Amino acid sequence: MKVVAKKSCNLATEYVKIDYMYSLKTYFRYLLSVFFLLMFSAASMAEESDSDRALKVMDSLWNIIPQQKGEARMLAWGALYNKSLSLGDFNLQMQILDDWLKDAHERKDVEGEALARQNKITDFFNAALYDSVYVEVPIAMDFCKANKLRRKYFEAWHLLVCTYHITGKYNTALREVETMHDVAVKEKDVYGQAVAYFNMGNIYFSMGHYDESVAAYEKCLPLMDDLSDKEAFVLDFYPYFCDALEAKKDYKRLDKEAGNWWKYIESKRKKEGERDQTAVMGNYYIARTQSLLGQGKLNEARQMIDEAERLTSKEAFEWLYVLYYKAQYYLLTGQYDKAIELNTERVRMCDEIDDKPTLIPVHRQRAQIFMASGRYQEAAEAYKRTLELSDSLNTSSSRTQLNELNTLFKVDELEMQKHMQTSRFIIIIITLVALALLLLFIQYRRSAKRLKLKNVQLARSNAQLERKNEELVVANARAEESSRMKTDFIQQISHEIRTPLNILSGFTQIITMPGVSMEDAEKEEIGQHITDNVDRITNLVDKMLDLADASSQMFIDSNDKVSATQIAEIAVADSNIKRAEHLRFELQEEAGAGNVMLRTNQRYAVRALCLLLDNAQKFTRPAESYVAAGQTPADASLQTVLLKVYMKNETIHFVVEDTGIGIPPEEAEHIFDRFVQLDEYYDGTGIGLTVARSIARRLGGDIVLDTTYTNGARFVLTLPVMTSSR
């Protein structure tokens, strides 16, 4: 955008002011030049015009210069040149600078000659005589480099970059500024690095690369602390930095940097006292307005833009910013007539300077105002004008970029032709070798690519094969485990059936033997044994049926209305746990819990609880193998089983707690798998807990092992209570 480029013109002028205003030595020179002006122009000025007075002062300076020597002579030339600037006569400026340059060269005044050259380049730049800038800058840079004037060297280079920038040759400008940065880094010149990053930020901004622009400004920011004339650089730097942050819509960061800018201004005031900082403050208030409008703080934004308006001259370039952001404020506050009025004034000023880049956002703003005020026809025309300007600018920019690339290509081509003329044979040989190497490289790349592809395919195949092998290993382990468990289960079932059948067969043979007579007590005992073993077989069949039922996941109807006490008492009776001689059994009901009603399936609920009680009976009784080996897992006289019934969170809890052999915490889930028996010394099939949990879950509850209990085993059966909605 030319907004930045035009502000760069101001920056180029400021570099001249730096030599007169912001170092102790040059500040003294500036005072001397003022002294000369006052000394030779005090008389006969009261009734003369400004131009007449300026010419008289210049005549006096012309006469006094030959009489001066050394630094005083250079200061006199500087005062004469500064006075010519006030007349606005470009030819006169050039004449004075040529004379100054000639005089300084003859006297071997290196600093004076460098300053004259710098002023000449600046005047060419400000007069848009860019071809002259291209000619003069390399001469000035060579002179400054030969005389080790590093500051002037980078100032001249800066003007060359600004010239490429303002003429739209962004690629050339970037290439030049990157070279400037590399040279500055190599020579450890902080000023050169700062100027390079500053120009990078400006160029990227004009190209619309706002992230890169902000990044360049951020690298420039810390370097300014090491500059002797930091103030001049800071005052020129921050307006650009704030514009880039606004373009990114990073309003919080913009607000922070504006605050840092203000702190610097305040610190300079405290150190040096009040000075004329009107333009500086105007730029600061514009930045604050950008931040506040972006954050929607309209009242505060109005105060800032009013301050900027008060401090900014209508002849200054910054006045365009004042008009734009004040119109933006009126747009956001619904004052559309005032917004259009200011926008129209901004359009008029931009038309006068024929600045298309600045006209595009202005016409876009104009269209937004018309849209917001309901003037759709005028909004459409404004949008149309915006598109026309954008197309025109893009066409012009594309043409410039194309010409720039053609120029760069032609320069490179000319250099190549010159080189080829001096070493054509060598180039041909090198070219042929390069082509051969290229062909070999292409062939190698193709082979490498094919090999890499095959390796990738092989790696994928190996990975798939490894995964399949792992899956097969896992599946095989599972199959083996399943087979082992099924074998154990079949053996256990055979044992569980054969044992009671053998007992039944033995008692049958006894009572059917001829001539056998028994007392009533013996008959009663035999009858009890027969009944117990028949029950044992019956329970085994029931478990098998329950296991088949659990595997099917068949839905269980829950239409029975039954109390928790009923379920507990029936399960206790069915399990015959009270008749177990090796343990003490106790039923505890929390107050009111036994009367809680459940909507469930009574038979299945009783069955699940009964299986838990059976499990507790079995594992609190010493296994026969233990007893045979003279071992007892626990003192049988101390074994207890406790059934607790209580209510918690709309759920009935049946807790079966025993003092048996217990279960390791890591087996808390494994024991619910089919056919699992943790202790082979105990009889059983390993399906009781599996069936119990399946029933509980199909009734809407669950069964878990409480691993916090360590005195045996504690299982918790939960069932939902009957709600009022049912």
Phi first, then psi: what are they for 208, rounded to 5°? 85, 10
| Predicted confidence band of residue 414 (pLDDT cuts 50, 70, 90) | very low
Query: Cα–chain-centroid distance for residue 623?
Result: 65
The upper half-sphere exposure of residue 467, i.e. CA atoms within 13 Å in the direction of its Cβ, equals 6
Kindly state the average pLDDT of the residues 623-645.
65
Kindly state the average pLDDT of the residues 679-691.
72
Q: Matching CATH topology for 449-553 and 555-720?
A: no
Tell whether the model's pLDDT for residue 292 goes beyond 70. Answer: yes
> 119 with 126: CB under 8 angstroms?
no
> 39 with 67: CB under 8 angstroms?
no
What span, in angstroms and rounded, lies between the C-alpha atoms of 355 and 2? Answer: 7
Phi first, then psi: what are they for 16, rounded to 5°? -70, -40
> 305 with 289: CB under 8 angstroms?
yes
Tell whether the model's pLDDT for residue 725 goes beyond 60. Answer: no
Q: Report how far apart, in Å, the C-alpha atoms of 629 and of each of 625, 626, 632 are.
A: 6, 5, 9
Share of the chain above pLDDT 90, in %: 16
Tell whether the model's pLDDT for residue 504 goes beyond 60. Answer: yes
Identify the helix (H) or strand (E) that includes residue 222. helix 210-223
pLDDT one-digit tens code per residue, 21-72: 333 333 333 333 444 444 444 444 444 555 666 676 676 676 677 777 777 8
Q: Give 653's strand partners.
A: 646, 718
What span, in angstroms and rounded, lies between the C-alpha atoms of 140 and 414? Answer: 25
Question: Higher-confidence residue: 726 or 508?
Answer: 508
> 561 with 722: CB under 8 angstroms?
yes
> 161 with 173: CB under 8 angstroms?
yes
| 328-406: CATH architecture | Alpha Horseshoe (1.25)
Phi first, then psi: what are they for 88, rounded to 5°? 75, 20
pLDDT at position 25 is 38
Domain 555-720 - what CATH class?
alpha beta
pLDDT one-digit tens code per residue, 366-381: 888 888 888 888 888 8
pLDDT at position 642 is 94
CATH node for 449-553? 1.10.287.130
Tell whether the model's pLDDT for residue 386 goes beyond 60. Answer: yes
Kindly state the average pLDDT of the residues 277-285.
73
Q: Write the DSSP assignment of 543-585 as a string of letters.
A: HHHHHHHHHHT------EEEEHHHHHHHHHHHHTGGG-TTSEE
Q: Report how far apart, in Å, the C-alpha atoms of 197 and of each of 161, 258, 423 are.
A: 12, 20, 39
| Predicted confidence band of residue 720 (pLDDT cuts 50, 70, 90) | very high
Q: Where are the alpha helices (DSSP H) in 273-355?
A: 278-294, 298-311, 319-332, 336-353
Residue-averaged pLDDT of the chain: 77
End-to-end CA distance of the chain: 75
Other CB atoms within a 10 A radius of the CB of residue 99 amount to: 16
Identify the helix (H) or strand (E) that includes residue 156. helix 150-166
- What the block records as the tokens of 317 is 């370039």
Tell whether the model's pLDDT for residue 454 goes beyond 90. Answer: no
pLDDT at position 178 is 92
When mean pLDDT is compared over 65-74, 295-304, 508-517, the highest value belongs to 295-304
């490498």: which residue's tokens?
448
Q: Give 318's strand partners.
A: none
What span, in angstroms and rounded, lies between the C-alpha atoms of 665 and 657? Answer: 15
What span, in angstroms and rounded, lies between the C-alpha atoms of 548 and 554? Answer: 10
Task: Say which amino acid occupies 273.
Answer: G
Q: What is the pTM of this model?
A: 0.50
Kindly state the average pLDDT of the residues 284-299.
88
DSSP state of 79: H
Least confident of 148-157, 270-279, 443-452, 626-635: 626-635
**Which one, of 91, 94, 93, 115, lies nearest residue 15 by Cα?**
115
| Predicted confidence band of residue 448 (pLDDT cuts 50, 70, 90) | confident
Tell whether the model's pLDDT for residue 493 goes beyond 80. Answer: no
Kindly state the average pLDDT of the residues 441-463.
77
pLDDT at position 379 is 80
> 348 with 377: CB under 8 angstroms?
no
Tell whether the model's pLDDT for residue 274 goes beyond 90. Answer: no
Q: Write the DSSP assignment of 504-526 as a string of letters.
A: HHHHHHHHHSTT----HHHHHHH
Kindly state the average pLDDT of the residues 324-331.
89
> 322 with 283: CB under 8 angstroms?
no
Tell whether the model's pLDDT for residue 502 goes beyond 80. Answer: no
Kindly state the average pLDDT of the residues 662-670.
85
Kindly state the average pLDDT of the residues 141-169.
89
| Predicted confidence band of residue 392 (pLDDT cuts 50, 70, 90) | low
What span, in angstroms and rounded, lies between the C-alpha atoms of 632 and 625? Answer: 10
Identify the helix (H) or strand (E) that includes residue 648. strand 640-648
Domain spans, the chain? 1-130, 328-406, 449-553, 555-720
